[in-house]
Amino acid sequence: MVLIISLYLSPCLLQQNDGQFTVIQLVGMMRGISAGMKYLSEMNYVHRDLAARNILVNSNLVCKVSDFGLSRYLQDDTSDPSYTSSLGGKIPVRWTAPEAIAYRKFTSASDVWSYGIVMWEVMSFGERPYWDMSNQDVSIIVMLNF
């Protein structure tokens, strides 16, 4: 018999609580996210889809990173721990680091870029990154400016 135990976190959306959280609470949420991402990095995993939509938040504002569908294990016995995805696969452009957009190369550093976008999402109460741009325009702007 296989028993699966799952943590239940009640929904708590930033957009539904726009302006109701203090800066201290928001920073606490970001600390929880960073702790989860630090753990993933220490275990040699790259998330590849870190975004506010993939963060579960409980009623105490404790954040848990979720949705590991795009996550990959990074071989730790190489000089360059990275994962290169095949062409044609979809990537979350608005949260993706320039090197991952250009070369499809994902590392813990590209997850740090995504975390920066998540911090912006948290502090803006869930606004969509680059809200006034198409995915193609986001790719161009990110590649040209970084």
For residue 18, indicate whether it is catalytic. no
Look over the chain and give the mean of its residue pLDDT values, rounded to a whole number. 89
Q: Please report, as a single letter, which amino acid is at residue 99.
A: E
Residue 94 has pLDDT above 60, yes or no: yes
Tokens of 138: 């986001």
Per-domain residue ranges for the chain?
A: 7-72+89-145
26-79 pLDDT, tens per residue? Answer: 999 999 999 999 999 999 999 999 999 999 998 899 999 999 999 999 987 677
Cβ atoms of 120 and 114 closer than 8 Å: no
95-142 pLDDT, tens per residue? Answer: 999 999 999 999 999 999 999 999 999 999 989 999 999 999 999 999
| pLDDT score at 2 | 61
Hey, which CATH number is domain 7-72+89-145, 3.40.190.10, 3.40.50.2020, 3.30.830.10, 1.10.510.10?
1.10.510.10
Longest dimension (CA), the chain: 54
Q: Please report, as a single letter, which amino acid is at residue 146.
A: F
Catalytic hit among 49, 67, 76, 77: 49
CA atoms within 13 A on the CB side of 116: 10
